[in-house]
Amino acid sequence: MKEFLNDWGLILVTFLPLVGVAVMLCVPGKDEGTHKLLALITTLATAFVGILLMVNFDYDKAGVLQFRVDHSWIDQINSRFIMGLDGLSLPLLALTLLIVPLVVIYSWNHIPDPGNPKAFMILMLILETGMIGSFLAEDLILFFVFFEVVLLPMYFMIGVWGGPERKYASIKFFIYTLLGSALMIVSFVAVYFLVKNPATGEAIKTFSIPELRAAGGEGVARSAQVILFAGMFMGFGIKVPMFPFHTWLPDAHTQAPTQGSVILAAVLLKLGTYGFLRIAIPILPDGARQWAPAIGILAVIGIIYGALCCLAQTDMKRLIAFSSVSHMGFTMLAIATMTTYGFNAAVFGMVAHGLITGMLFFIAGSVKERYHTLEIKRLGGLLISAPKMGWILGLCTMASLGLPGLAGFWGEFPAILSAYEPAAGLNVALFRTLMVLAALGTVLAAGYLLWLYQRTAFGTPKEEFANDPHIHDVETPEWIAWTPLVILIVVLGFVPAIIFNVSEPAVSLIARTVGG
């Protein structure tokens, strides 16, 4: 089995969703059940391969790429089909393999207008291939291909199945992401020509991430690294999204169907933070150190700004969207410290945010389906109308505000703590100031999340919904989709080492390249 996984494991886990797409395209008719079942079988088969990879993964060597695939691809530019799995990519692969099947299960009776589950499920499977491929790719061109594959499916999910302003939101999402990608690929090409082999002094002229990381930016002047890092910063920073490039996110989340919002929050945003850790920082370490203070400052501005925007929102989904801007700021602050501790905190923050915010968007979607509105002032009494959903919402809000014993605490507290002692050479006073400001952000988070929960769950149902037969408690597909996320939010809150121990060997190698 290990030999088979070494040869085919990563290829299967990446491209099985596309096999499902091919099968669905060959199945005629508009039978909703058939296409949903095919999508579910495909995602479960993909998850099964992923589980085999995790079971056979050597956790004592989590800092080394395992199940590595290395084949000739585009010989003219020395770009190879390289994929690998290590302690950095494994938690994010696991998150993706969990979220997509749960979204398919949730969709069993939640296909948004105008229907057409076949096309909807096909887009979801293409998204899965793009996300998994991005986390496993070890060649810059291959990474860029997967990074861009996710753009079109999400554009169509928002533009076709979204809300009243879906066209505006989808175009804004597309343009923002495309702009960042254009600047990012320019930096990739420049790296190809400029980075030199430390042993020979000649240009490497390769897109292989392991080779470029080993070179550590050799031959690229610090000023050039700063400029090239700026290009990657735009590509990854817009995807995170960091302040001030965040404005596409609230519109995209608000207009996207529930499934799109869950995938966007749980996985897609992590492509940006992952890109910083996997590509930008280890390949351009001098540029990363020069940019670190700016990244930290923008991260903290995002934390405070996002929290203040949450306090001003009247729409439940838009409030959760702005909370993503704030919470991803903690992840970027941890990355800005350029230390092993900070990078490890960032990986946990990605997973915790994916689980918690994904759950919040699931609940928001179910509330919208029942009440036909997400206007906070019209909601209320959820603990009376749908008590189980009300209690689940309560758990998720507590997790999101960082209550100890839940995953959100370990997504925020270590990130704040990491700023106390940044990498050698960084401005300690600046980062400790940022640490204090970030801690104030947690207070604001408690304010807007408790305000949201009090307005939506407490009290009695408004008169217009008091006797509405459409308002009911959690249904079976919702239970199946939500239970694994709720369990993980609690389990990771008590046993954070599940993530920390896996990612630390990999991120410590990255930190070493920047002296962290």
Q: What is the pLDDT of residues 457-511, one digit of tens each?
A: 888 887 777 676 778 888 999 999 999 999 999 999 999 999 999 999 999 999 9
Cα separation, 274 vs 280, whole angstroms = 9
Decide: 362 and 482 in contact? Cβ < 8 Å. yes
| The pLDDT of residue 291 is above 90 | yes
Nearest to 349 by CA among 269, 448, 278, 245: 269
Give the tens place of pLDDT for each residue, 99-157. Answer: 999 999 998 887 777 778 888 899 999 999 999 999 999 999 999 999 999 999 999 99
Of 431 and 117, the structure prediction assigns the larger pLDDT to 431
| The pLDDT of residue 516 is above 70 | no
What confidence score (pLDDT) does residue 29 get?
66
Structure tokens at 454: 């009090």
Cα separation, 319 vs 444, whole angstroms = 13
Tell me the pTM: 0.93
202-203-208 Cα angle (round to 5): 130
Listed in sequence order, the residues at least 6 apart from 223 whose beta carbon sits closer than 8 Å to its beta carbon are none
Considering its fold, how many domains does the chain have in total?
1
HSE at residue 377, side-chain half, CA atoms within 13 A, is: 3
What confidence score (pLDDT) does residue 336 get?
95
Q: Is 475 helix (H, G, I), strand (E, B) or coil?
A: coil
What confidence score (pLDDT) does residue 372 get?
85
Which helix (H) or strand (E) is 83 found in, with range? strand 79-85
Q: How confident is the model at residue 75 (pLDDT cuts 50, 70, 90)?
A: confident
Evaluate the CA torsion angle 362, 363, 368, 369 in order and state its sign: positive
Range of the domain at 366: 2-513
Give the tens place of pLDDT for each residue, 330-343. Answer: 999 999 999 999 99
Centroid of chain to Cα 502: 18
HSE at residue 438, side-chain half, CA atoms within 13 A, is: 30
State the burial class of residue 18 (Cβ atoms within 10 Å of its Cβ: 0-12, 13-18, 19+). Answer: middle
Residue whose tokens read 């400001």: 437
